[in-house]
Structure 1
Amino acid sequence: MNKTLGSTLLVSGTMIGAGMLAMPLTSAGIGFTFTFVLLGTLWFLLTYSALLFVEIYQTAEPDAGIGTLSAQYFGKAGRIISTAILMIFLYALLAAYVTGGGNILASLLTQISDSESTSKISIVLFTLIFGAFVVIGTRSVDVINRLLFYIMVAALVFVLMLMSPKISVDNLMAMPIDNALLISASPVFFTAFGFHGSIPSLNAYLGGNVKSLRIAILTGSFITLVIYILWQLSTHGVLSQSLFLDILQKDPTLNGLVTATKEITGSQAISNTVKIFSALALITSFLGVSLGLFDCIHDLLKRTLHRSAGRVMLGLLTFLPPMLFALFYPQGFILALSYAGQMFAFYAVVLPAVLTWKARQKYPNLPYRVFGGNILLIIVSLLGVIITSIPFLIQAGLLPNVVG
């Protein structure tokens, strides 16, 4: 049960990234009621698709990565496509987390010769310190993630307590200024429920125990849903829709949101606590994403790596590219991140649906089978394709932009 608890917190910790704090800005024009509906719908969709991976893993070895799983049903082409998409997606996320983590560390360190040097040293230190837990093994990631997750939740509870007395029912009842914004916001909220890249690592950690993995996914994702709803309830309740939209025009970032909530609550503590929460959320997401990438690369290279130097080499392959991007070519990963949602939609929804379809044909009597039958697999795949296309529709001007 100990490993199940650790896996549950890894699921939730990977999902609750620093981007969660900016979610209310994304939903500013939608209103709380429709935001609640959107959160519930996307939670169902992505929890369902995660459970499909549990079903598929009954047909493979516990330590099989996504490449091995895809090769089992779609041969070499399946391995190449699924591995490439997952690695690009995770590298882009990791580069963003390394940059963000470096910035947080730089704000705590004494400035060295100049701000640029301090920033670069901080990026390297952040990668070395937290990357080391991943190289040591999943158990060490489990231990540090538990500690950080508990502190993170305590910080969030403190923020919610400070904000709750200021909640207004009128603010919560605000309707969307444009119903199409509900569609435009979907990809942003969609990626906020993303932990699927870590599922192969969790399955290996749990020794292929179907029940434990299922509990970890259901409980971890539900904890995240509750936290997201409480956060949206507080921010939408405290800030009127018109004030939200003013913030978006002046400063459409987390800083703008923190400044506005501080002005309304009159609390400096809320600003400091949100910064602590943001740092912890970023680190727990970094740990979950890097663990998934580490094991993905291991699955790709396990026939060629020597056991003694294997983990060190995997660590270099996992952390060196995103660290170099963060140091010397920040525009590169920003560009990659703009397409990360599309890659995630394929990996987290379309791929498990297609793999499950094939697995059910080959193994019709598996002990655990996700509800809904093949019709639901088709519906989920179509939803994945639709969500993938939304950013292109926004760019074409066919849908409104959520940030004005």
Structure 2
Amino acid sequence: MPFYCEKAMNLQRFGAMFILMGTAIGAGMLALPLVSSQVGFWPAVGLMVFVWAVMLITGFLVLEVCLAFPEYKNNFDSMAYHTLGPIGRVVAWITTLVLLYALTSAYIAGDSSLLFELFTKTWSLQIPQWVDAVAFTAVFGGAVFWSTRAVDILNRGLMSVKGLALVFTLILLMPHIDVAQLERHQGSLTALWAMAPVFLTSFGFHTVIPSLANYLKKDVVELKRVVFWGATIPLIIYIFWLMVVFGIIPYVGEHSLSAIRANHGSAGMMIATLITVAHSHAAKVSVNIFSNVAMTTSFLGVTLGLFDFLLDATKRENHRRGRVQIGLLTFVPPLLFAIFYPEGFVKALAYAGLCVAVLEVILPALMAYQLRRSRLRTSMFRFPGGNLVLALIFLMGVLFVFM
């Protein structure tokens, strides 16, 4: 293989991994320590590693099933229908659309709000927020409409900024960590398990796997690397973030995690407390940059998965006319909700953990089981462990649903 071809393929692989990571690592990552503060650092890390292992396995199961189908006919609609029948298709439709439309609407509302604030404070321009929402959707949604390649190139730039902001934040804050605070545990097993749905959504990258399988031309070796590192790097980042927050903000006192919880505080309040305790204004700037860019990279990954799901579900051809139709179906409903009824999808986000448990844990186990029983289709890849692993994953998914 010529050098330039090999270099292009390496860039494409890293781009696919960045899309997967960008989908998982959203601005919600900042709130993970606040949710985990009920139990402490080490129990939270233990649960997070467990959830990561479950979601990594189900990511490989989605890859296994998706590789048994032709390109652009390999999304959750086709996978569920051909393995689980009409009922599986209905479940896939409901959970995918509720989850991805809700997330898309939330990201449009969040980013348009940031644009409104930017224009108002920087240039004193009073641009209506609905104009900001339309502009944001047109620019970044346009990349999704154009191609996965366009998303890859745009996402690489954003992930570079996001990564630098995060590294800069950690460098500034880590010298302030009090290691003794990491040893303090509190809470109960009930409180620990109640955190699982939040952690699940932090590893919710599965809906974009079929898109990346098409993008990498079903290269099994590369896709396995993308799924593994795309799930593992977020885990490492989350643990470092937990370490920083738990090591700097005390559990009790005026500026403490318990005080923030008692006041029903948000991630923003926690960040403000973190900056106050660490006395670092520069960290505040870098955290703000990270959170703003994180919403955009998550928007790209989520809408890429939604776009390709609808392309598969509506059986449109992957040409210009079909992509225009799917683009309208992907972006217009959440845009309208973000403008006229933002609280509608905010309410739907309350069911995000449930949707992720069904769509990204239970369905992959069932689909892989049925695929392996069937003699009509074979996959280019099979995750090891046999039916025992599938049964355990299914049971974990059911447990997550009832948490």
C-alpha separation in 1, matches of 2:104 and 2:125:
25
Say which of 330, 343, 357 aligns to 2:355.
343
- Match of 1:180, SS state, is helix
Shift of 1:231: 0.7
Shift of 1:37: 0.4
- Matched with 1:125 is 135
- Matched with 1:317 is 329
- Aligned-partner residue type, residue 389 of structure 1: F
State the TM-score, normalized to the length of structure 2: 0.92
Shift of 1:251: 5.3
Say which of 71, 75, 90 aligns to 1:62.
71
C-alpha separation in 2, matches of 1:334 and 1:104:
17
C-alpha separation in 2, matches of 1:311 and 1:46:
30
- Aligned-partner residue type, residue 299 of structure 2: F
- Aligned-partner residue type, residue 288 of structure 2: K
- Aligned-partner residue type, residue 117 of structure 2: S
Report the count of equivalent residues.
Answer: 388
Shift of 1:57: 2.4
- Matched with 2:24 is 15
Equivalences for 1:38-77 in 2 at 5 Å? 38-63=47-72, 64-77=74-87
C-alpha separation in 2, matches of 1:356 and 1:179:
31
Shift of 1:265: 1.4
- Match of 1:61, SS state, is coil
- Aligned-partner residue type, residue 282 of structure 2: A
- Residue by residue, what CA displacement relative to the aligned partner does 1:225-260 show, whole Å, maximum 9, x if unpaired? 111111111111111122111122235212211111
C-alpha separation in 1, matches of 2:274 and 2:365:
41
Go from structure 1 to structure 2 and tell me whether the alpha carbon gap of 1:76 and 1:276 turns closer, same or farther (over 3 Å shift).
same
- Matched with 1:356 is 368
- Residue by residue, what CA displacement relative to the aligned partner does 1:339-373 show, whole Å, maximum 9, x if unpaired? 12111111101101001111111259755321221
Go from structure 1 to structure 2 and tell me whether the alpha carbon gap of 1:315 and 1:267 turns closer, same or farther (over 3 Å shift).
same
Go from structure 1 to structure 2 and tell me whether the alpha carbon gap of 1:365 and 1:70 turns closer, same or farther (over 3 Å shift).
closer
Whether the 8 Å contact between 1:15 and 1:195 is mirrored in structure 2 is yes
Whether the 8 Å contact between 1:62 and 1:204 is mirrored in structure 2 is yes
Whether the 8 Å contact between 2:58 and 2:360 is mirrored in structure 1 is yes
Identity of aligned residues (%): 36
- Match of 1:293, SS state, is helix
The runs of 5 or more residues in structure 2 that have no matched partner are 1-9
Shift of 1:113: 11
Go from structure 1 to structure 2 and tell me whether the alpha carbon gap of 1:140 and 1:180 turns closer, same or farther (over 3 Å shift).
same
- Matched with 2:274 is 261
Shift of 1:36: 1.0
C-alpha separation in 1, matches of 2:354 and 2:237:
25
Go from structure 1 to structure 2 and tell me whether the alpha carbon gap of 1:361 and 1:107 turns closer, same or farther (over 3 Å shift).
same
Of stretches 131-140 and 104-113 in structure 1, the one that deviates more from structure 2 is 104-113
- Aligned-partner residue type, residue 269 of structure 1: A
Whether the 8 Å contact between 2:307 and 2:326 is mirrored in structure 1 is yes
C-alpha separation in 1, matches of 2:150 and 2:167:
26
Whether the 8 Å contact between 2:64 and 2:382 is mirrored in structure 1 is yes
Whether the 8 Å contact between 1:61 and 1:208 is mirrored in structure 2 is no
Of stretches 65-74 and 219-228 in structure 1, the one that deviates more from structure 2 is 65-74
In the alignment, does 2:193 pair up with 1:180?
A: no
Say which of 141, 149, 155 aligns to 1:139.
149
C-alpha separation in 2, matches of 1:187 and 1:206:
31
Whether the 8 Å contact between 1:18 and 1:278 is mirrored in structure 2 is yes
- Aligned-partner residue type, residue 317 of structure 1: L
- Matched with 1:169 is 179
In the alignment, does 2:304 pair up with 1:291?
A: yes
- Aligned-partner residue type, residue 35 of structure 2: T
Of stretches 41-50 and 169-178 in structure 1, the one that deviates more from structure 2 is 169-178
- Match of 2:218, SS state, is coil
- Aligned-partner residue type, residue 202 of structure 2: A
- Aligned-partner residue type, residue 262 of structure 2: Q
- Matched with 1:100 is 110
- Aligned-partner residue type, residue 57 of structure 1: C
- Matched with 1:393 is none
C-alpha separation in 1, matches of 2:18 and 2:307:
19
C-alpha separation in 2, matches of 1:142 and 1:307:
19
- Matched with 2:7 is none
Say which of 36, 41, 49 aligns to 1:27.
36
